[in-house]
Amino acid sequence: MSSTIVTGQPDDRSTNTDPPVPGPTYLHWSPIFAGAIVAAAVSFVLLSFGSGIGLAVASPSSTWRGTSAALALLGGLWLLLTSLAAFGLGGYLAGRLRTTWSDTTPEAFEFRDGIHGLLVWGLAILIGAFLSLSATRMAAGRGDLTSPTAATAEPLLAFELDHLFRSDRSPVEPGSDPELRAQAARIITAGLGHTGMAQDDRAYLTRLVEARTGLAQLDSERRVDEVVAQANEAIARARHGAVILTFMIACSLVLGLAVAWLAAAFGGQHRDGAVHHHFWRRWDVDRTFMIR
């Protein structure tokens, strides 16, 4: 009786059947969302507080003639402080709450924590942009104060038009007053550029004022010059304030990027035990929160 030895390829089913170990996750979205929500909330609170003390980014008031470069600069500085507080706290939370691994270098730890801070910064900006867009749609009827158009000229220059056609006499045709104001608003708006108002437009506007108010020609010309100068000065002041404030917004966002990165890296160091806070250790506090 002979025995036969069968040789062949080993059966794959006899190999190790343990499930594969998943690799480390380099992005933890829960800390990122938590940090972004906290950053957006802190920004909202601080901007609301700034609006309460007169440092609003955009005022809902129609008295836009009071816009000044100094006020815009103060509002921009408040934006910088808001960016420091909001993105710093959001980045720190993202780095502090993120899980860590023991098989990497400190440089890789710092880089990955910084990436989490960067994502907090970007997500918080998207949340703020969405809220700002919603608020802008609600206030879409106000128009742009710094770039008046034919559609928004009359409401925007209402004070100047009142000054232009101010008179003690009643209009000869009461129904023609809105049309006069609309024509004057379009003429003034067209003359707010660098080239100024055309001579024929100025002459026509003078005749409108003369017919509506009953003033002499020289007085009508003087009033037209005063109103055009007031409109130019007010809109130029609003434009200067808008330029300063827009620049400060951009600076605050760039500063927020750096702060979020550094704060996330600091939070990661605190998470890994490289940073110790000894503030509470100065006090011996028992479980009933009574200082011994």
Q: Which residue has the higher pLDDT, 179 or 225?
A: 225
Amino acid letter for position 150: A
Q: Which residue has the higher pLDDT, 9 or 274?
A: 274
CA 76, CA 32: separation in Å to the nearest integer? 27
Flag whether pLDDT at 165 surpasses 50: yes
3-state SS class at 108: helix
CA 283, CA 96: separation in Å to the nearest integer? 24
The vertex-202 CA angle with 214 and 165, nearest 5°, equals: 35
What's the pLDDT band for 49 if we cut at 50, 70, 90? confident
Q: Which residue has the higher pLDDT, 141 or 124?
A: 124
CA 59, CA 54: separation in Å to the nearest integer? 9
3-state SS class at 178: helix
Flag whether pLDDT at 53 surpasses 60: yes
Q: What is the pTM of this model?
A: 0.64
Residue whose entry in the numeric block shows the structure tokens 């990955």: 112
Residue 291: what are its φ and ψ, rounded to 5°?
-75, 125
What's the pLDDT band for 275 if we cut at 50, 70, 90? low
* Average pLDDT of the chain to the nearest whole number: 75
pLDDT at 61 (0 to 100)? 44
Residue of 223, 193, 197, 190 whose CA lies nearest to 208: 223
Q: How far is CA 231 from CA 53, 128, 141, 227, in A?
A: 28, 33, 21, 6
